[in-house]
Amino acid sequence: MDTALDTDKARMSLEDTKRAVVSSSSPPNMEFQALHQAHRDRWKNTDVSMCRHSLSFHLHHSLRMEFFASFLYLLEQIPLVKLFAVTCEKIKGEKYFYYKAQQFYEDVEPSEEGMMGDFVEISHIDLEGSRNFLNRFIGPGKADTKCALDCGCGIGRVSKGVLLPIFETMEMCDMIEAFLLHAHEEYLGDDADRIETYYCYNLQELTPPSRKYDVIWMQWCACHLTDRDLMQFLMRCKKSLRPNGVIIIKDNMARKGCKLDPIDSSIIRHLDIMKDIIFKAGLKVLAVEKQEGFPDVIVPVWMIAMQ
């Protein structure tokens, strides 16, 4: 009997709530629209009608009052939460972000001109800056020279000009098979014999072998990963380092915030944002250096060493 009374009370309470909402002075649907405004602003493609009929008044209220309050708290306390949100706002969908990059590079010619775009004339400046930066972390008490991994290697421009002159063996990874074939069959020449493995993978899907590399080089490819995927890939790379090994990122860095390049589907981050992602991946920044000698029209390029 008590259970039946409790049920009747609950039913009456719910009916009272419904009547209060219906009898309010607000026009029909205004209560729903106010409660769901945050959703509609953030996710403009939401099917409003579907959400109205599938979520109760109380659930709308909880989402607004509790979920968003918690999210705002996380924005203040955990910088990476904000970074993920920024990336999502810029790329407008992770799958499309990666798809567009794949489509762009499938149309790129497998040559130095294709790798450097309109700036092939600065390739030698880029390679010299990379060699000088890398030499700071190679030698006694530092990284060994047994094996390196070139991530987003393209046809192997950095492998040939920076890494192969130093390391005994190498492995190379790129998502475009035509680039890897050109590297092995033509571009690297006799040095191709020292490439142990070619990985035709997207970096967000690659798990490098454990304790394999003295140096993992990432040039102009971190920009093609979302914040979350970049952080997780760096965490996997950390497990792939041999004693004293280092990871080096060389990439475009925004002068402020982050910016999407819709042509090649890359996200250009400010240096501080990149450092935050590195920190969240459990890595320590050893050195940061700006690439000098590039034309002013080029977005600033920075090198970051970490372990």
Q: For 287-307, how does the pLDDT look when each residue is reduced to its tens digit (9 = 90+)?
A: 999 999 999 889 999 999 999
Asked whether 151 and 159 are in contact (CB, 8 A), the reply is no
Span 97-122, average pLDDT: 93
Cα diameter, the chain:
89
Question: Is residue 24 pLDDT above 70, yes or no?
Answer: no
Span 45-73, average pLDDT: 57
Measured CA to CA, the distance from residue 215 to residue 134 in angstroms comes to 9
Q: What angle separates helix 79-91 from helix 68-77, to the nearest 10 degrees? A: 110
Question: Is residue 51 pLDDT above 60, yes or no?
Answer: no
Which pLDDT does position 125 carry in this prediction?
Answer: 97
Which pLDDT does position 290 carry in this prediction?
Answer: 98
Which pLDDT does position 15 carry in this prediction?
Answer: 47
Looking from the CA of 92 toward its CB, the CA atoms found within 13 Å total 8
Question: Is residue 54 pLDDT above 70, yes or no?
Answer: no
Domains of the chain plus CATH, in order, are 97-306 (3.40.50.150)
List, in sequence order, the alpha helices (H) in 36-122.
Answer: 37-42, 48-54, 57-62, 68-77, 79-91, 94-106, 112-116
Question: Is residue 153 pLDDT above 60, yes or no?
Answer: yes
Question: Is residue 100 pLDDT above 70, yes or no?
Answer: yes
Span 30-56, average pLDDT: 52
**Mean pLDDT (the chain, rounded):** 83
Reported in sequence order, the residue ranges of the chain that DSSP labels E, i.e. its strands, are: 147-151, 169-173, 195-199, 213-219, 241-254, 258-261, 266-270, 285-290, 301-306
Span 36-55, average pLDDT: 52
Which pLDDT does position 188 carry in this prediction?
Answer: 98
Which range, of 52-61, 104-113, 165-174, averages the lowest pLDDT?
52-61
Which pLDDT does position 270 carry in this prediction?
Answer: 92
Which pLDDT does position 225 carry in this prediction?
Answer: 95
Position of tokens 């290697």?
A: 153
Which pLDDT does position 25 carry in this prediction?
Answer: 44
Measured CA to CA, the distance from residue 95 to residue 78 in angstroms comes to 25
Question: Is residue 49 pLDDT above 80, yes or no?
Answer: no
User: What are the CA-CA distances from residue 273 to residues 203, 276, 301 (Å)?
Assistant: 20, 5, 14
Confidence of residue 143 (pLDDT cuts 50, 70, 90): very high
Q: Tens of pLDDT along 195-252?
A: 999 999 999 999 999 999 999 999 999 999 999 999 999 999 999 999 999 999 999 9
